[in-house]
């Protein structure tokens, strides 16, 4: 039977190792914190947060709080129906249409990016 073991540094999962048992990998990481994934600790994945008892999703925004029922962080207000993103600076959900995307995220070519930069406002 194999086990999954999380390599935890500063309460953050840096790696997940699959091994036959913990004793086989302990000598490889003598100074690191190794936490075995169990039903009690829940699923470990790179980037997850270790709270000392179980693995949690990383906190998305400072204003969001942990919810035991959904086992996730929740925004201060409920997300409206439709396509919205959380804007932490104003602490509210905003329509996706208001999201500012970089030229690369908008799919512009290098020539189009240069043309936008040179265009008068």
How would DSSP label each residue in 47-114? TPEE-SSSEEPPP-STT-EEETTTTEEE-SSPPPSSSEEEETTTTEEEEGGG----TTTTT--HHHHH
| Phi then psi dihedrals of residue 28, to 5 deg | -75, -25
* 36-56: average pLDDT: 90
- pLDDT beyond 90 at 114: no
Rounded to whole angstroms, the Cα distance separating 96 from 112 reads 23
Rounded to whole angstroms, the Cα distance separating 31 from 40 reads 24
User: Cα torsion at 112, 117, 119, 120 (round to 10°)?
Assistant: 160
* 91-97: average pLDDT: 90
Does the global pTM surpass 0.85? no
Give residue-wise pLDDT tens across range 56-86. Answer: 888 889 999 988 888 788 999 999 999 999 9
């Amino acid at each position: 039977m194999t086990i999954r073991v999380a390599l935890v540094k500063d309460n953050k999962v840096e790696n997940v190792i699959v091994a036959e048992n913990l004793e086989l990998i302990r000598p490889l990481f003598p100074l690191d914190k190794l936490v075995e994934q169990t039903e009690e600790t829940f699923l470990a994945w790179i980037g997850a947060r270790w709270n000392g008892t179980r693995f949690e999703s990383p906190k998305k925004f400072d204003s969001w709080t942990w919810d035991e029922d959904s086992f996730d962080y929740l925004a201060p207000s409920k997300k409206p129906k439709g396509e919205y993103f959380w804007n932490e600076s104003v602490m509210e959900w905003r329509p996706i249409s208001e999201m500012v995307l970089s030229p690369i995220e908008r799919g512009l070519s290098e020539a189009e990016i240069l043309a936008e930069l040179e265009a008068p406002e």
